[in-house]
């Protein structure tokens, strides 16, 4: 995983944040830079990503993580199912510091990484939960969330069944998936969900961010 020099890193991140309709303030860019540097340092030992070139990292990790922001307010509670290397949740929290978040990750090693990211970026309104929320028989958190998000952690139908139980009434669920998986989105939910958007992911054929409301 290769990062560009600091000056280019910051300029490219500022452009990405601005393109997402957000203000690329210093605190936002500092958090994004810290996350990327930690991922580059930890990746050889922890296998956090197979994406290696900077253009791919910028597109696949950073820009895709910023897509949900137009549907996320300045406050509320967010659950990230399968936080892994911290995408999409860390960029979201960097741009929405008023949100409180639970980062659910089944791998203890990746949970350690996420704890370090939160400490380094000083995102204080977030905590890591080491648990596989998709495991059979595992009790999901008792609380409900205004936003539930996941990126390629569970099969769409399985994820939507879980998300429908955890999202509060009127809350929003985000799913990264392909068009072929769209028919599974509403088949296993505990209650009807309205599809608000089907946002194409630039540069990835037949891939979308689906936004649904509970």
State pLDDT tens for residues 13-61. Answer: 999 999 999 999 999 999 999 999 999 999 999 999 999 899 999 999 9
Note whether 148 and 178 are within 8 A (CB). Answer: no
Q: Is 176 left (phi over 0), alpha (psi -120 to 50) or beta?
A: beta
Percent of the chain with pLDDT over 70: 91
pLDDT at 167 over 90: yes
User: Is the pLDDT assigned to residue 90 strictly greater than 70?
Assistant: yes
* Whether the Cβ atoms of residue 68 and residue 151 lie closer than 8 Å to each other: no
Residue 187 pLDDT exceeds 60: no
Whether domain 67-213 has CATH 3.40.50.1580: the reply is no
Instruction: Return the higher-pLDDT residue of 113 and 201.
Output: 113
- What's residue 138's pLDDT? 63
Domain ranges for the chain, please list them. Answer: 67-213
How many other CB atoms sit within 10 Å of the CB of residue 151?
22
d(CA 82, CA 101): 13
């Amino acid at each position: 995983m290769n990062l560009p020099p600091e000056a280019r890193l910051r300029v490219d991140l500022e452009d990405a944040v601005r393109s997402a309709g957000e203000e690329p303030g210093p605190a936002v860019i500092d958090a994004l830079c810290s996350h990327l540097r930690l991922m580059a340092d930890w990746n050889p030992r922890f296998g956090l990503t197979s994406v290696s070139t900077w253009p791919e990292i910028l597109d696949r990790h950073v820009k895709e993580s910023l897509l949900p922001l137009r549907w996320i307010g300045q406050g509320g509670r967010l659950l990230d199912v399968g936080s892994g290397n911290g995408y999409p949740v860390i960029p979201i929290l960097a741009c929405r510091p008023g949100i409180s978040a639970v980062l659910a990750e089944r791998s203890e090693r990746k949970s350690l990484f996420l704890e370090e990211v939160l400490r380094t970026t000083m995102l204080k309104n977030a905590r890591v939960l080491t648990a596989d929320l998709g495991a059979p028989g595992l009790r999901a958190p008792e609380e409900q969330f205004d936003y539930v998000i996941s990126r390629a952690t569970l099969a769409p139908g399985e994820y939507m069944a879980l998300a429908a139980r955890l999202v509060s009434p009127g809350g929003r669920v985000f799913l990264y998936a392909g068009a072929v998986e769209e028919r599974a989105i509403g088949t296993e939910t505990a209650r009807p969900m309205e599809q608000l958007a089907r946002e194409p992911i630039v540069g990835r054929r037949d891939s979308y961010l689906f936004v649904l409301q509970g």
